[in-house]
Amino acid sequence: MKKIILVLWVATSLLTGCFGSSDDSQEQSNSVNNYVTSFQEIIDESNQLLSQYRENLDKLYTNEVSENQFASIVKNMVPKSREIGTGLDDQLYTVDNSLYDFHRDVIRLVNDQHQLFLKTLEEANEESEMNRDTLYDDYHKIKEIQTELVEQLKALTLGGAE
């Protein structure tokens, strides 16, 4: 009788473990898919700001806008940039554990982008001319990191599906 109870207990444990594992796997898959969608939205919003930034930095180089005009445009971008960062902070406690390190890198990217905008405003308020080359270099670094993160997420999600 003890053997039958033991066998039933082991079988129940195994079946429960198998079904629980499937549910956990499905839940993790949903969590990852939701994060991927959220990440794509963040990148889209970030790209809108960065495109606007680069377009106007080009115009600054070609003297189509003054430093004051450029600073005014960037100043109007800051609230949206801050909103993106706040949205990432709100996800901090809900992000799947397997994506936590990646999420931290996304936060760093968005903070660097925001810092670029603030740095631009700070330079506009100084008496000397803006260092356009440094601003462009910082912009390019952000775009490179953004591209790396997109590639990283593809590897994480495709690797998880295999």
Among 107, 117, 119, 90, CA closest to 145: 107
Residue type, 66: S
Count Cα atoms within 13 angstroms, Cβ side, for 8: 5
Whether pLDDT at 52 is above 90: yes
The per-residue pLDDT for 23 is: 60
pLDDT digits (tens, 9 = 90+) for 79-138: 999 999 998 888 878 888 888 899 999 999 999 999 999 999 999 998 889 999 999 999
pTM: 0.79
Q: What is the mean pLDDT of residues 34-57?
A: 93
Q: Is 78 exposed, middle or buried (0-12, 13-18, 19+ CB in 10 A)?
A: middle
Q: What is the mean pLDDT of residues 145-158?
A: 88
Whether pLDDT at 13 is above 80: no
Among 88, 118, 107, CA closest to 149: 107
